[in-house]
Structure 1
Amino acid sequence: MSHRLLLVDDEPFNLELMTELLEAAGYETVCAESGEQAWEILQRQGSSLSTVLLDKMMPGLNGFDVLKRIKNTPELNFLPVIMQTAINSPASVQEGMEAGAFYYLTKPFSRDMLLAVVKAAHSHWDRHQAFRELAKQHLDALAQLQQAEFRLRTLKEAQTVTALLARTCAQPEKVATGLFELMVNAVEHGNLAISYEEKTRLQAEGDWESELERRQHDPILGQREVSISFVREPDRFSFTIQDMGEGFDWRQYEDCPAASLMASHGRGILIARKLSFDEVEYQGKGNCVVARVSRTSS
């Protein structure tokens, strides 16, 4: 699948450099030299884009202003935005996070970092689009589903269960993205015991997929299951996800650290909290999480 990216920067050299690197990697690009031009493109072509690389500091309509407009537009608010900034400060990153940026690049950045973060962004968008299509299927019987329980071991099984359960909600594709992220955490970091640091190293070395498959076939780790329960309550839906891992210190993720926005992975909890659910509550030692969303959430 071809991915079309919008690149926004008031420095022509930066646009030329990013265009060259990204098109060499197989991406299609559209460029804007100002916030105003970027917003015009987004209004006309937003549905054809899968990621926006947005310079924060620009005259006139700056990147922060464009980001706010994207997140306040229903047709665009799930579009991943990679904010580019020369200011490498936690406060600056936190500001972008609160406005809806889930990806950050600090200038100057390397080719490898650019491609890694863009890949993470469009993968997030691809999942959202896939769940959106699944949500269109006619599964009217799910409107009567009151409660259900599932057990799974693999990410493929997690995707199937996610697509089914999300269809019970008012905005299925929105819930599906966060629900799937929580299941991924339960499988990878919980049952398969892959730490954040290990995943970072494996991705950098190109060994991530092979290690994931190896652990999935491990006679002990591979037999662990994730349980998911669904309950339709009077005013909300509740999803409880529990893995068989050792747990983790979930308290440090109550407020997502700004540094995590500069990594190529590790924002699943943030996505669930900010985009999908009204409440995400980790319990006990951290291997059980309850996610809740209002029955009328749009």
Structure 2
Amino acid sequence: MADAVTALVVDDEEMTRAIVAGYLSRIGYRTLEAETKAQAWEILSASGSTIHVVLLDRRLADGDGLELYEQMKREPHLADIPVIIQTLSDSGADIAAAIRAGVFYYLVKPYDGALLRSVVRAAEETTGRLKSLQGDLRSRSDAIGLLCDGLFRFRTPQEAQNLAITLSPIATTGHSLTFGLSEILINAVEHGNLGIGFEAKGRLKAGGLLTREIEARLASAEHRDKFATLHVERSDSRVIFTVTDMGTGFDFDRYLSVDASQSNATHGRGIALARMVGFDQLTFVGNGNRVIGIVDLDRTPDSRAD
């Protein structure tokens, strides 16, 4: 029998740790608990300790939880563990800081058990996909750096994700570009071509039916011939990514900023976060079925404009 998935819950409130452990036990996870960064590091460093996911409070008695995350990233055996930040703050700036550090999962308290379980599973799934592609990415990154002009066609979320990971080494912005590019490519498939709106996606995710619905729509007569395109233009000073889908567009203004109204949703922040941390400029054209993302190559990664 396979070992149970182990989650490390790092929070200075005993009640919060107990509640999270209860939520995760319902999907078969075992949990370890830590009150401080120091205790968490001791657990992570223990010989033979296998942690599959970390739920990390942003504000701890002995400092910022992001500092523990950054410490983990410096250790090869810990760097790939998915980390979910949980906090009371729904500040867009705080969320952007976490994303820049490489944390792509962010829960605003209070949240319910269904949301937590959904995010934990999503973190594990995404990390698994990234790991499976890392070897190929290393072998292809030098060649991608030679790209000056290219047109790519894609249909599925998996193709969108693969394309984002493959192309992200074209600019030296690391995780942020991978995240930002994957968000606008997947958005072109799910929301653009397949017409899965915000409310519908929320219902499907809550019921665990999103993947099944995507596959059904991809195979349907209405959508099976649709595709999206990515045009990449690289100069000495910048890279321009133009993504075009075959959908009817959407109210993109609603999703260009992160605010409290989206803090309890399992989705809906991707475009705002892509704009904040993935690109120097992100502009939707016309009715929203075309988006242009620009990355400047003549600036340091930390100088990205919000």
Please say whether Structure 1 and Structure 2 have the same fold, judged by a TM-score greater than 0.5.
yes
Match of 2:213 among 206, 211, 217: 211
- Contact 1:127–1:177, Cα closer than 8 Å, also in 2: no
C-alpha distance 56-239 of structure 1, shift in aligned 2 (>3 A): closer
**Is 2:93 aligned against 1:93?**
no
Aligned residue in 2 for 1:199: 201
* Higher mean C-alpha deviation, range 259-268 or range 243-252: 259-268
TM-score by length of 1: 0.80
Could you tell me which runs of 5 or more consecutive residues in structure 1 were left unpaired when the two chains were aligned: 86-91
CA displacement at 1:12 relative to structure 2: 2.9
* Higher mean C-alpha deviation, range 36-45 or range 209-218: 36-45
- Contact 1:50–1:79, Cα closer than 8 Å, also in 2: yes
Q: How does 1:210-289 map to 2 (within 5 A)?
A: 210-289=212-291
Q: Following the alignment from structure 2 to structure 1, what is the Cα–Cα distance between the partners of residues 203 and 170?
A: 38
Match of 2:86 among 74, 78, 83: 83
When the two chains are superposed, the root-mean-square deviation of aligned CA atoms in Å is: 3.3
Q: Following the alignment from structure 1 to structure 2, what is the Cα–Cα distance between the partners of residues 293 and 50?
A: 33
Percent sequence identity over matched residues? 32
- Contact 1:6–1:32, Cα closer than 8 Å, also in 2: yes
Aligned residue in 1 for 2:106: 103
SS for the counterpart of 1:221 is coil
**Is 2:133 aligned against 1:136?**
no
- Contact 2:82–2:124, Cα closer than 8 Å, also in 1: no
C-alpha distance 117-141 of structure 1, shift in aligned 2 (>3 A): closer
Aligned residue in 2 for 1:149: 151
Q: Following the alignment from structure 2 to structure 1, what is the Cα–Cα distance between the partners of residues 237 and 201?
A: 38
Q: Following the alignment from structure 1 to structure 2, what is the Cα–Cα distance between the partners of residues 225 and 193?
A: 13
CA displacement at 1:170 relative to structure 2: 2.9
Could you tell me which runs of 5 or more consecutive residues in structure 2 were left unpaired when the two chains were aligned: 100-104, 302-306
Aligned residue in 2 for 1:88: none
SS for the counterpart of 1:100 is helix
SS for the counterpart of 1:7 is strand
